[in-house]
Structure formats: C-alpha cells, structure tokens
Amino acid sequence: MKPATSLTNGWVDAIAHIPSPNQDDRPAGTGIALIVIHAISLPPSQFGGDDIVRLFTNTLDPDAHPYFAGISALRVSAHFLIRRDGTLLQFVSCNQRAWHAGVSRWRGRERCNDFSIGIELEGCDEQPFENVQYDRLIALVRLLREHYPIEALAGHQDIAPGRKTDPGPFFLWDRLTLTGLPLRSV
C-alpha cells in the first residue's frame, strides 16, 4: 500500500478516483474545518464488493438485495472510502461539497457538509476496524492537514446524535491522537 503524498485540485494523487455525481460547490468563502469519520457496509455488516461504489455513483440495483430497495434512490457520497484492506478511493474533490453528513451540527454550525471532508471506513457498529484502515486514515488526515485548515475530527454520531451511530463503538478514537487534531470536539 503506497501512501498518498500529494493533492491536485482537491484530488489525492496516486489513488483510484471514482467521481460521484452527488456533490456540488461549497458555499463561497467557506473553508474546510472538520473531518467527519463514517462507517459503511453494503449490504449491512458485509464487506467487499462494489455496492458502496454503486451507492455513491447512483447505480445501486434495488433488486440486488432486500436492503437496497430502501436506499437505492438516496443521493449520497463521501470524499473518501477506506476499504478493509486499506485501499483508498476518492469520490469527490476535497474542494467540492460531498453529501455525507445530512442534517448535522458542529460547534454551533449547521450543515457540516459545507465545511467538512467526509471519510468512510468500510465497517459497521458490530465489528472492529482493521489496523490497516487506521494506518491509512492517519496518513490521509495528515495529508489533508497540509492543505486545509482542519481544526478537528468528529464521528457522524457526534454531528448527528440520535440520528447516526457511526463509526460506532468499535472505532478506536485514541488511535487518531497521532493526527494531532482534537477528537470528537462538538
């Protein structure tokens, strides 16, 4: 796994780019202050396959799994996905707004999509994440900090309490102290 070391126009170099249509411009003058950590698995609690990519590119087949019928019409994305094996994919330029946070609030600011970068980890609330995912996440956060004035890291559960639970109870926040950012400050 080669570490990502640079960005061009908000895209991390030397990784797979799979552009999502589910993105738009950030509000004028809005800087990136937050990284939001998420967890996703499709079907739920199953790993591998391309269903997450299909969800973020609006190509998820509603008939492929009973769960998909209720989510296939969603228009969502994230900037990044870190798979269980550490593979890093990018769907949206960091300079654009990805649609990952939904109704959300951080430090009194609404609409976290406007000023955050969303990073999905392939995972769920019921299982631990892989060491290689933490390694890749820490390296990615460090790279992003070189290019954006990021102030903190938070989980989706922190910015949308009561509505979201990810990255969940098995996520080891202490591993992210290596990023030098405040953790879960909402």
**pLDDT tens across 46-55, in order?**
999 999 999 9
Mean pLDDT, the chain, rounded, equals 95
Q: What integer pLDDT is reported at residue 4 of this predicted model? A: 67
pLDDT digits (tens, 9 = 90+) for 101-156: 999 999 999 999 999 999 999 999 999 999 999 999 999 999 999 999 999 999 99
- The domain segmentation of the chain, as residue ranges, is 7-179
For this structure, is 130 an active site residue?
no
Q: What's the pTM value of the predicted model, to 2 decimals? A: 0.96
Q: Which CATH superfamily is domain 7-179 in?
A: Peptidoglycan recognition protein-like (3.40.80.10)
- CB neighbours of 70 closer than 8 A, spacing ≥ 6? none
C-alpha span between 76 and 169 (Å, rounded): 23
User: Coil, helix or strand for 25?
Assistant: strand
C-alpha span between 49 and 43 (Å, rounded): 10
Structure tokens at 77: 């994305």
- CB neighbours of 88 closer than 8 A, spacing ≥ 6? 4, 12, 15, 16, 80, 81, 82, 136, 140
> If we measure between CA atoms, which residue out of 170, 178, 71, 85 comes closest to residue 127?
170
Which of 120, 126, 146, 151 is the catalytic position?
120
